[in-house]
Structure 1
């Protein structure tokens, strides 16, 4: 390899001498450009020759290392090329392992997997704090239990539980409130009308129509609840 490089450099020098450096070579390349290529070629030849000498001494181990690096490079290229599909598969797997987790899909949609008991339990943030909700299209509003509302610093007076809200399990007395924000994954709605159920009236929070009707759409597809944000 070293000898081939030296021969090539010698040919370049011969061409430079014969042309006297006064005109372009073949009408394509200027003599100074060719000289620059020759200099660069000399450096590259020396580097490659030194590398090849080191490589040849431990060719078995070096070939194995080279194949490992090629495999890692190929894996990186494939991971980048299929990153969207891999993210979708990873999110679906997370949703199956942790039902209720908001898995973000294309266009900012959110998918929640049905739990083993058949209900959709949605993890959301209310005023910046995590709360768990049962998806309930029969609830006319978002409803918090008195205990969960107290954890958020919301404590209606006894006389305020004068409103009624319809749920899938019947009617409950509630106190109307206004939530600063309610977020499920990237979907965030602000100033959401909600209710606090009378103590002991409900066993869990309900994700009802005062939030759901703000969304462009939502649907249940098999064991998946899909919420579409704006």
Structure 2
């Protein structure tokens, strides 16, 4: 391998290049330290930082290839929905589900879009934060969740919106904090749409066209 080929190979392998450069810098620091301790110490610290950066970038790269890892889920944060034409697009996260950052009564809340849930649901803590009070006349309802059956109270959200989707006066199930760790957007919102479908790693939601005013 000649010099040009080696250079091209290293350019195509930035993590390897960073690791080699850090090792060479550490070796040079050891050689210089005897004559110039201060410069040697600076070079050695820079070499350590380079090795740490290479390690962190390697972990991030491995996490990206392993979509189910905890690191991948941490790196793949929930994002706001994207508006494409008249449709709202929600990207699938690394865990294989569709999460979206929505505005609930004007406050940001992370939701899992769950087509198997009858109602949109939040924890009691989130309900208090956004100003949703349980209906005083509601005696509660039993909901089936991933953690089993829970008793939830009905409340009403003034607004819930994300992308081009907006729902008003939406019934919300409020569950106990000890039993609800995921806020969900359920079919009582999705059924208000004109259509929704999954294409590859995208959930595409189409709002209903408002009726023309007379």
Shorter-chain TM-score: what band?
0.5 to 0.7
| Cα distance, 1:111 vs structure 2 | 0.5
Determine the C-alpha separation between the residues in 1 that align with 2:195 and 2:185: 15
| Cα distance, 1:164 vs structure 2 | 1.4
Map of 2:83 onto structure 1 = 104
| Cα distance, 1:166 vs structure 2 | 3.3
Residue 145 (structure 2) pairs with residue 162 (structure 1): no
Map of 2:25 onto structure 1 = none
Report the 3-state secondary structure (helix = DSSP H, G, I; strand = E; otherwise coil) of the residue aligned with 2:126: helix
Q: Aligned pair count?
A: 134
Determine the C-alpha separation between the residues in 1 that align with 2:197 and 2:149: 25
Map of 1:187 onto structure 2 = 165
- 2:135·2:155 contact (CA, 8 Å) conserved in 1? no
| Cα distance, 1:99 vs structure 2 | 4.6
CA shift in 2, pair 1:188/1:99, >3 Å: same
**Which of residues 154, 175, 182 in structure 2 aligns to 1:204?**
182
Which protein has the larger Cα radius of gyration, Structure 1 or Structure 2?
1
Determine the C-alpha separation between the residues in 1 that align with 2:108 and 2:139: 24
CA shift in 2, pair 1:170/1:213, >3 Å: farther
Q: Which runs of 5+ in 1 are unaligned?
A: 1-96
- 1:124·1:183 contact (CA, 8 Å) conserved in 2? yes
Aligned positions of 1:75-224 closer than 5 A = 99-107=78-86, 109-156=87-134, 162-167=140-145, 170-224=148-202
CA shift in 2, pair 1:178/1:155, >3 Å: closer
- 1:101·1:123 contact (CA, 8 Å) conserved in 2? yes
Report the 3-state secondary structure (helix = DSSP H, G, I; strand = E; otherwise coil) of the residue aligned with 1:151: helix
Map of 2:29 onto structure 1 = none
| Cα distance, 1:151 vs structure 2 | 1.0
Higher helix share: 1
Map of 2:206 onto structure 1 = 228
Two-structure CA RMSD over aligned residues (Å)? 2.5
